[in-house]
Structures are given as structure tokens and as C-alpha cells.
Structure 1
Amino acid sequence: MTQRWDVFCKVVDNFGDIGVCWRLARQLQSEHQLDIRLWVDDLQVAQRLIPSLTLAATEQRVEDIRVMHWCADADFSDAADMVIEAFACGLPPAYIAAMQQQQSRWVNLEYLTAEAWAEDFHAKTSPQANGMVRHFYFPGFTQATGGLIRERHIPPPVLHPPAEQAVNTCKVSLFCYPHAPIISLLSAIAEGKQPVHCYVPSTTILPQVADFFGKTSLQVGQMVSHGALTVEVLPFLSQADYDQLLTRCDINFVRGEDSWVRAIWAGKPFIWQPYLQEEGAHIPKLKAFLAQHYQSMPITALNVSQAMHMAWQDTAFQASVWDDYLAAWSSINAATQEASRTLFSQTDLASKLVIFCNNL
């Protein structure tokens, strides 16, 4: 009999939470033949990534996954064998009661981090007052964690000629949170010597990009130029199309969790913007990742990469940071490919999660 799994997703970080959950749900269904229900509280945001979603439907089937609207009047009486609570979203009390009757197993899928404590807390348990046990599953970058989402069709990162970026127009993708120093980054690129073609998917940062070019707005398909910079506005992309964009670009600006992991598999230099947290709690998360991911990077290139990432978390962005990054691109590129290939040799998150859950 096919195991029935429920994945609960509460949209917090716009596309990050639903992006991770949708990828995981599809992989669990297609590669592990599980019967998946994905519970989502915000279908409107989810529809950006799953265009065929019907907003008025409380239950619908998309790509062999049952998508359920997580709302106040939803029917939570039928609990699954295995329940994945994504990012401590908090399960409905009525559903927890049904889990007790069903004797469901309960796993909380945590946010991805490279911090060392993730290994210590991965696979730990938390007994609940109602007698159930909540298990904690931490994705991560080492064998002692829960791994990274990676579907079987993703090929290992390929080697790119080191001179590729230096002689051609540098292709950049820009996907970030609105509080990033977008204007000063675009200014630094425009004032530089390296021609740059920057692809910007249609998101909430478009007004700032338009403002840089002195325009009231920008439309999908529009191209605007200033100095060394040309910006091309793309539609909001499907996950598959976005993955392709990452592989075509020389440098990728990514954010949150889903695009961050996809940039790793693209094997191209990238600048990551973590989700902003109070009291700068996202900065140690960033530093831990850079230290772990770029262990083999030459010290000069590592310093440049760290400076680029830290500048991208600030309120302003110095032109010299961009120039230094371009100058070190070949070394950063080689180290990025090596790090990606190392992670590729590890077991993917979905496979490890299935094994973990089957052993509960």
C-alpha cells in the first residue's frame, strides 16, 4: 500500500517556504511514489509558482499531488501516516487530534543552516503533552545532517572555461529582497568596465530598478541600459525556468532558501541574501555558510567573496567591492564548482527523509 504523507506549509517568506515545500512534495511523489497532500495557507502566493492552481478550490490535484487549502473551515479529520510540519508552522489542533487517532508520525522540517549546531539537533525528538513525539529534521551541508533538496534529473555541476566571464558580457541574475542595496549595486555595475547583462524576474524589486533608470515603471520584456549595465525584465519564472536561468548566468544573486540551494546546483558564483532576522541573527548564518562552503577557496578570493556578501547585507554597496569580485571571478568560479560537486556526492534530502521516516 502506498504511504500517505501530508506536508503543511505556511507562507512566511513569500516564495521561499512554498518553493521548498512544492519541490519536496513533487520529489516525494515522483521519485518515492508517495501519496502526497500539500496543505498551503496562502494559495495566491502559491499560484505564482503553481500557475494551474485554482484559488477558490479547497482541494485540487496538480502534478499528482493533492493541494489542500489550509483555512479555518478545512476538514482536518483525516490525518496521514506521515506528517511533515514545514518550518515549525504549527499544525491545526483538530489535525493533531486526528493524528493521535491515526497514530501518525510527526516530523518538523527545519530551515536550512550551515551552523554547526544543526548536526547536534538533527533527528532529535520532543515528546508532547498529548503523548505524541515530534521529530526534528535539519537540512544541511554535511553527512550528519538531513541533506539538500536535489532531484535525480539534476546533473553534476560542469566545468566552465575560466576565461568565459573575462572576455564576454557578464550575465547576472538578480533575485533579492527589497531591502538590499539595489540602487548602489546597479550604480557600481553601470560605472564599471565589464559589460553586464542583468536579468531581473518580475518581483517586488522592480520599482527600485525602474527608479535607477529614471523610469516610473518597467514592464516584462523591456530592456534598459546605462553605462556598462543592461537590465532585461523577465516574467516571474517557474521553478524549472528559474533553474535554467541560474545555469546560464555567470553570477547569481539569490535569496532565502529555495533559490540559494538551486544556485549551489547551478555551480556558478552566487551572492546569497539570507532572510532578514531581528538583531542581525542572519549574519552568523551567512558567515557559517561561507566558511563551510568555501573551505578550499584561496584566501584572497575568499576575502573578496566574504566582502561581497557582507556588502550585500548592508544599506550601501561600494563600487570597489563589485570590481574586486569580477577580478577574482575565475578563482571564485573554480571553488564554487568544487564545493557544488562535493555536495552533489551526498545523498539528497528527500531520500534521507524517507529513510529517516521509515525508521521511526
Structure 2
Amino acid sequence: MKTTWDIFCTVVDNYGDIGVTWRLARQLVAEHDLAVRLWVDDLKAFVRLCPEADANAEQQYQQGVDVRHWPADWQGAAPAQVVVGAFACVLPAAYVEAMRAQATPPLWLNLDYLSAEDWVEGCHGLPSPQANGLRKMFFFPGFTANTGGLLREASLLARRDAFLQTPGERARFLQGLGVQLEASARLISLFAYENPQLANWLDVLAADQQPSHLLVPQGRVLADLACWLGEAHLPVGAIHQRGALTVQVLPFVSQDDYDKLLWACDFNAVRGEDSFVRAQWAGAPMLWHIYVQEENAHWEKLEAFLGHYRRGLSDAAAGALSGLWRAWNMDQDMAQAWQALQPHWPQLRQHARDWAAEQATRPDLATALVHFYRNSL
């Protein structure tokens, strides 16, 4: 009998929550031969990541995962042996009561948000006793050996390398998206929240001597982009040129195609958590738009990650990289920060590959979760 897992996902904002849980569910099925139910309260968001899914189905199987609609009026289901509440979502009261009533309660895990802050290591794996007698365990993804690691399929880096090293593969993928790339152009992907510094960055790209081709999947930053271009609306497929900069709007693609988009680009601007991790595995220079929190609490998370990521860079390159990330996230001058980064491009490219290789030496998140369960038996 396969071990049963229930993963609960509340789609709070955009696609980070469902992006992480869908990747995790698929990997647990494909690589660990588990029976996984993924409970999602917003199937429309799920369909954006898995286009073959049905937004109206109460139950469907996608890539071996039993995907269930998580209704507001919970009808009940027998708890699995492992229960994962993603990002502190509140499980249905009836489900929690069914967990409590079992002779052997399930392993209940709170899969928390990704952070590089020092306190994460001390909280990872700690229990949180509940008033009803159950125990919930904290499980933190992370970048060090004392955390739960990062989502990474076993074949991911090999597939990335094959994509980049197979003659014509990159070009064929880009052509499938309608991208005609000038030979000398730097290819940049932009997946971001609204940002007042976007115009400054685009201005300096347009004025540059080197051409750039900016690929922008459908998302929240399109309104700022349209404003810069003087357009009322930017439909999928729209292409505009300003000086040395070509801007092209892409459709919202599946997770697998988004990975390929990141692999294909020379620089990736990403947001949130899921695309942030996938950009690291792409092994190319990157820029992270961190999710804004009250009282700028997200700045501490940004600095904590930079403290890890910039190790091994020269002082000048580390300062330029940090300056760019701070400008993008703290409403500072992106034009100046981008120009300061350019002399360090070869070093940043190599560093991005080295960082991905270093993180790949640690157990991935799905494997760490499975080991945690087995050790709890």
C-alpha cells in the first residue's frame, strides 16, 4: 500500500502557493511513489499552471496527483497518513477533528515560506502542540543543511543542461513562443509585481549600445510596462521596440515551459517564491522581486538571502548585485544600479551556475519531507 499524503493549498495571492504545492505533489508521486491528494480552493489558478486541468472538476487526476477542489462547505474526507498544510493555511475543522479521532494521528506538517533568515534553522522540525492534543510540526525550506532544502526534481539540472547544450533546442523553444531574437541581443525575462522603478530600468536598456529583448509573461507588471510604452493595453503577442530594447508579451505558460524560458534567458527578473527558486536552478544572473510585507519586513528576508548568495563574489561584484536588488525592491534608481552591474557580468554568470550546483548537493525538499516522515515512524 502506498503511503497517503494530503496537501492543502489556499491560493492567497497570484500563483506562488499553488505553484509550490503543485510541484511538490507531482514530485512526491513521480519520484517517491506516494498517493497524493492536492486540495486547492481556487482551481482557476491551478489551471493557469496546468492548462490541461478542468477548473470545474471536484476531482481529477493530473500527472498522477489526485487534485481535489477544497470547497468552503467541507464535506469530509478520511485523513491521509501525512498531512501538509502549506504556508500556514487553516485546515477544515472537520478534517482536523477526524485527524484527532484516529488511533494513530497523521504526521501534520506546516510547510512554511522560504526564507534565508538565521532563525529558520532553529525552528525547522520543531513541534507545535495543539489545544486538541495533536502536534503540528514546522517544516522550513531553506538554503542550508539545517533546513528542508529547495524543490528540485531529480532530473532538473540534467534537463536544463541538455536544453542548453543540444544544438537548436533553445532556438526551437523560443520560436514556439513567437520570439525572433537578434543574434547579439541579451535575452531577459520579466515576471514581477508592480514596480515604480521599471521605467528607469527600461530607459537605460533602450539607451544601451547592446540590444536587449525583454520577454514579459502575462502578469501584474504589464500595467507599468504599458504606461512606459504609452499603450492602453498590451495583449499577448504584442511586440514594441524603443531604441535598443525590444519588448514582447508572452502568454502565461505551464510550469515546465516557464523553466525552459528561464533556461533560455541571459537574465531573469522573478517574483515571489516559486519562480525565485526556479530562477536559481536556471543558473543565470537574476533579480528577485520579493513579496511586500507590512513595515518593510521583507527587506530583512531580502538581505538574509543576499548574505548567502553573494558569498564567493568579489567585493565589487557583490556590491553591484546587492545594489541592483535593493534598487528594485526599495524604490531606488534602477538605471544607475543596472549600469554598475555590467562590468561584472562574466563573474555573475559563473557565480549563478556555481550557486545552483552547490544547492544541488543538498537533499531536495520533497526528499527531505519523505525522510522526515519515515524518521517519525
TM-score bucket (shorter structure): over 0.9
The 3-state SS of whatever aligns with 1:272 is strand
Corresponding position of 1:63: 63
Corresponding position of 1:324: 340
- Displacement of 1:345 after TM fit? 1.0
Are the counterparts in 1 of residues 195 and 224 from structure 2 also a CA contact under 8 Å?
no
Corresponding position of 2:199: 183
Of 250, 263, 269, the residue aligned with 1:234 is 250
Corresponding position of 1:137: 139
Task: Please give the residue correspondences for 1:78-117 in structure 2 after superposition, counting only pairs within 5 Å.
Answer: 78-102=78-102, 103-117=105-119
Corresponding position of 1:204: 220
Task: Please give the residue correspondences for 1:292-311 in structure 2 after superposition, counting only pairs within 5 Å.
Answer: 292-311=308-327
TM-score by structure 1 length?
A: 0.95
Q: Deviations over 1:70-115 (max 9, x none)?
A: 1122322311111000010111111101111232110000101111
Are the counterparts in 1 of residues 326 and 332 from structure 2 also a CA contact under 8 Å?
no
Task: Please give the residue correspondences for 1:204-223 in structure 2 after superposition, counting only pairs within 5 Å.
Answer: 204-223=220-239
Residue type of the alignment partner of 2:33: Q
Are the counterparts in 1 of residues 7 and 21 from structure 2 also a CA contact under 8 Å?
yes
- Displacement of 1:62 after TM fit? 1.4
Measure the CA separation in 2 of the matches of 1:199 and 1:113: 28
Measure the CA separation in 1 of the matches of 2:76 and 2:286: 41
Measure the CA separation in 1 of the matches of 2:3 and 2:30: 13
Of 259, 266, 284, the residue aligned with 1:268 is 284
- Displacement of 1:20 after TM fit? 0.3
Corresponding position of 1:149: 151
Q: Deviations over 1:182-213 (max 9, x none)?
A: 22221221122221001101112222212211
Of 255, 279, 294, the residue aligned with 2:295 is 279
Corresponding position of 2:241: 225
Corresponding position of 2:73: 73
Q: Deviations over 1:39-64 (max 9, x none)?
A: 11111112111222222222222111
Residue type of the alignment partner of 1:344: A
Corresponding position of 1:314: 330
The 3-state SS of whatever aligns with 2:54 is coil
Measure the CA separation in 2 of the matches of 1:275 and 1:193: 33
- Displacement of 1:237 after TM fit? 1.0
Of 126, 133, 136, the residue aligned with 1:124 is 126
Are the counterparts in 2 of residues 177 and 255 from structure 1 also a CA contact under 8 Å?
yes
Measure the CA separation in 2 of the matches of 1:272 and 1:303: 16
**5+ residue gaps in structure 2?**
166-182
- Displacement of 1:316 after TM fit? 4.7
Q: Deviations over 1:264-320 (max 9, x none)?
A: 110000001111100111111011111112210111000000000001013353422
Aligned residues: 355
Are the counterparts in 2 of residues 49 and 239 from structure 1 also a CA contact under 8 Å?
yes
Corresponding position of 2:18: 18
Task: Please give the residue correspondences for 1:32-71 in structure 2 after superposition, counting only pairs within 5 Å.
Answer: 32-71=32-71
Are the counterparts in 2 of residues 219 and 233 from structure 1 also a CA contact under 8 Å?
yes
Are the counterparts in 2 of residues 174 and 252 from structure 1 also a CA contact under 8 Å?
yes
Measure the CA separation in 2 of the matches of 1:273 and 1:318: 13
Residue type of the alignment partner of 1:245: L
Identity of aligned residues (%): 44
Residue type of the alignment partner of 2:338: W
- Displacement of 1:226 after TM fit? 0.1
Do structure 1's residue 192 and structure 2's residue 208 form an aligned pair?
A: yes
Measure the CA separation in 2 of the matches of 1:253 and 1:5: 34
Are the counterparts in 2 of residues 180 and 313 from structure 1 also a CA contact under 8 Å?
no
Measure the CA separation in 1 of the matches of 2:333 and 2:60: 45
**5+ residue gaps in structure 1?**
162-166
Q: CA RMSD in A?
A: 1.8
The 3-state SS of whatever aligns with 1:75 is coil
The 3-state SS of whatever aligns with 2:157 is coil
Q: 1:180 to 1:36 in 2, by over 3 A?
A: farther
Do structure 1's residue 336 and structure 2's residue 338 form an aligned pair?
A: no
The 3-state SS of whatever aligns with 1:328 is helix
Measure the CA separation in 2 of the matches of 1:294 and 1:339: 9
TM-score by structure 2 length?
A: 0.91
- Displacement of 1:224 after TM fit? 0.7
Residue type of the alignment partner of 1:104: P
Residue type of the alignment partner of 1:54: D
Do structure 1's residue 356 and structure 2's residue 377 form an aligned pair?
A: no
Measure the CA separation in 2 of the matches of 1:130 and 1:228: 63
Are the counterparts in 2 of residues 39 and 69 from structure 1 also a CA contact under 8 Å?
yes
Are the counterparts in 2 of residues 181 and 314 from structure 1 also a CA contact under 8 Å?
no
Task: Please give the residue correspondences for 1:238-257 in structure 2 after superposition, counting only pairs within 5 Å.
Answer: 238-257=254-273
Residue type of the alignment partner of 1:355: H
Measure the CA separation in 2 of the matches of 1:318 and 1:26: 38
Measure the CA separation in 1 of the matches of 2:5 and 2:125: 18
The 3-state SS of whatever aligns with 1:236 is coil
Measure the CA separation in 1 of the matches of 2:66 and 2:299: 37
The 3-state SS of whatever aligns with 2:96 is helix
Residue type of the alignment partner of 1:290: L
- Displacement of 1:180 after TM fit? 5.3
The 3-state SS of whatever aligns with 1:37 is strand
Residue type of the alignment partner of 1:133: R
Measure the CA separation in 2 of the matches of 1:8 and 1:256: 19
